[in-house]
Amino acid sequence: MGAVEVDLAEALRRVADGAPLIDVREQAEWDDVHAPQATLLPMSELQERWSEVPSDDEHPAVVVCHSGYRSAQVVAALERAGVPAVSLAGGMVAWEQGREPVVRGGAASAADGERGHEH
Protein backbone atom coordinates (compact mmCIF):
# COMPACT_ATOMS: atom_id res chain seq x y z
CA MET A 1 0.00 0.00 0.00
CA GLY A 2 1.40 3.42 -0.97
CA ALA A 3 1.52 6.53 1.12
CA VAL A 4 -1.62 8.63 1.34
CA GLU A 5 -1.15 11.89 -0.58
CA VAL A 6 -3.18 15.05 -0.17
CA ASP A 7 -3.24 18.13 -2.37
CA LEU A 8 -2.27 21.58 -1.13
CA ALA A 9 -5.83 22.64 -0.23
CA GLU A 10 -6.35 19.51 1.88
CA ALA A 11 -2.93 19.85 3.51
CA LEU A 12 -3.69 23.46 4.46
CA ARG A 13 -7.08 22.45 5.86
CA ARG A 14 -5.48 19.72 7.96
CA VAL A 15 -2.74 22.03 9.28
CA ALA A 16 -5.35 24.69 10.11
CA ASP A 17 -7.27 22.00 12.02
CA GLY A 18 -4.21 21.19 14.13
CA ALA A 19 -2.20 18.64 12.15
CA PRO A 20 1.56 19.13 12.45
CA LEU A 21 3.46 20.03 9.26
CA ILE A 22 6.73 18.05 9.16
CA ASP A 23 9.43 19.00 6.66
CA VAL A 24 11.71 16.03 5.89
CA ARG A 25 14.20 17.82 3.65
CA GLU A 26 17.77 18.37 4.79
CA GLN A 27 18.98 21.40 6.77
CA ALA A 28 20.38 23.27 3.74
CA GLU A 29 17.06 22.94 1.88
CA TRP A 30 15.18 24.10 4.98
CA ASP A 31 17.52 27.07 5.36
CA ASP A 32 16.82 28.06 1.75
CA VAL A 33 13.00 28.01 2.02
CA HIS A 34 10.35 26.44 4.25
CA ALA A 35 6.78 26.86 5.40
CA PRO A 36 6.65 29.05 8.53
CA GLN A 37 4.54 26.56 10.51
CA ALA A 38 6.67 23.53 9.61
CA THR A 39 8.97 21.57 11.89
CA LEU A 40 12.23 20.23 10.44
CA LEU A 41 12.81 16.48 10.81
CA PRO A 42 15.26 15.45 8.07
CA MET A 43 14.61 12.14 6.35
CA SER A 44 18.23 11.21 7.07
CA GLU A 45 17.44 11.37 10.82
CA LEU A 46 14.01 9.78 10.71
CA GLN A 47 15.05 6.31 11.85
CA GLU A 48 16.40 7.73 15.12
CA ARG A 49 13.76 10.44 15.56
CA TRP A 50 10.42 9.10 14.24
CA SER A 51 8.98 9.14 17.76
CA GLU A 52 9.30 12.96 17.69
CA VAL A 53 6.56 13.22 15.06
CA PRO A 54 3.61 14.81 16.90
CA SER A 55 0.84 12.90 15.19
CA ASP A 56 -2.34 11.12 16.20
CA ASP A 57 -5.36 9.53 14.53
CA GLU A 58 -7.36 12.76 14.79
CA HIS A 59 -4.57 14.95 13.36
CA PRO A 60 -2.22 12.86 11.19
CA ALA A 61 1.02 14.68 10.41
CA VAL A 62 1.28 16.34 7.01
CA VAL A 63 4.74 15.53 5.65
CA VAL A 64 6.43 17.77 3.06
CA CYS A 65 9.67 17.57 1.08
CA HIS A 66 10.78 19.30 -2.13
CA SER A 67 8.48 17.58 -4.65
CA GLY A 68 6.65 14.79 -2.79
CA TYR A 69 8.93 11.78 -3.39
CA ARG A 70 10.76 11.74 -0.04
CA SER A 71 7.64 12.67 1.91
CA ALA A 72 5.81 9.68 0.41
CA GLN A 73 8.67 7.42 1.51
CA VAL A 74 8.61 8.93 5.01
CA VAL A 75 4.83 8.56 5.30
CA ALA A 76 5.09 4.88 4.34
CA ALA A 77 7.78 4.38 7.02
CA LEU A 78 5.76 6.26 9.64
CA GLU A 79 2.65 4.22 8.84
CA ARG A 80 4.66 1.00 9.29
CA ALA A 81 5.72 2.36 12.70
CA GLY A 82 2.09 3.07 13.60
CA VAL A 83 2.36 6.85 13.21
CA PRO A 84 -0.50 8.28 11.10
CA ALA A 85 0.67 10.67 8.39
CA VAL A 86 -0.07 11.95 4.88
CA SER A 87 2.22 13.33 2.18
CA LEU A 88 1.76 16.73 0.54
CA ALA A 89 1.60 15.94 -3.17
CA GLY A 90 4.07 18.17 -4.98
CA GLY A 91 5.87 19.17 -1.78
CA MET A 92 7.32 22.65 -1.39
CA VAL A 93 7.04 23.11 -5.15
CA ALA A 94 3.24 22.91 -4.81
CA TRP A 95 3.35 25.04 -1.65
CA GLU A 96 5.18 27.86 -3.43
CA GLN A 97 3.09 27.54 -6.61
CA GLY A 98 0.03 27.95 -4.37
CA ARG A 99 1.58 31.23 -3.15
CA GLU A 100 1.53 30.11 0.47
CA PRO A 101 3.75 31.99 2.95
CA VAL A 102 7.38 30.87 3.15
CA VAL A 103 10.49 31.69 5.13
CA ARG A 104 13.54 32.27 2.92
CA GLY A 105 17.00 32.30 4.43
CA GLY A 106 15.55 33.01 7.86
CA ALA A 107 13.15 35.81 6.83
CA ALA A 108 9.46 35.51 6.01
CA SER A 109 8.58 36.37 2.43
CA ALA A 110 5.80 38.93 2.20
CA ALA A 111 5.66 38.57 -1.58
CA ASP A 112 4.22 35.07 -1.31
CA GLY A 113 2.28 35.72 1.86
CA GLU A 114 -1.29 36.26 2.89
CA ARG A 115 -2.28 38.58 0.04
CA GLY A 116 -5.74 37.54 -1.13
CA HIS A 117 -5.58 34.32 0.83
CA GLU A 118 -8.32 32.85 2.98
CA HIS A 119 -8.17 30.06 5.53
- For residue range 57-100, what is the model confidence (pLDDT) as tens digits? 899 999 999 999 999 999 999 999 889 999 999 999 999 999 99
With a pLDDT cut of 70, the percent of the chain lying above it is 87
DSSP 8-state code for residue 44: G
Band of pLDDT at residue 110, cut at 50, 70 and 90: very low
33-34 and 103-104 strand pairing: antiparallel
Pairwise CA distance, residues 7 & 97, whole Å: 12
More confident residue, 56 or 84: 84
**pLDDT at residue number 112:** 41
Which of 7-21, 57-71, 105-119 is the least confident region? Answer: 105-119
Give the predicted TM-score (pTM) of the model: 0.86
More confident residue, 64 or 56: 64
Query: Are 44 and 25 spatial neighbours (Cβ–Cβ below 8 Å)?
Result: no
**pLDDT at residue number 55:** 81
Pairwise CA distance, residues 14 & 91, whole Å: 15
Average predicted confidence (pLDDT) for the chain: 88
Name which of 9, 38, 34 is nearest 21 in CA terms: 38
**pLDDT at residue number 111:** 44
Pairwise CA distance, residues 87 & 2, whole Å: 10
Pairwise CA distance, residues 65 & 39, whole Å: 12
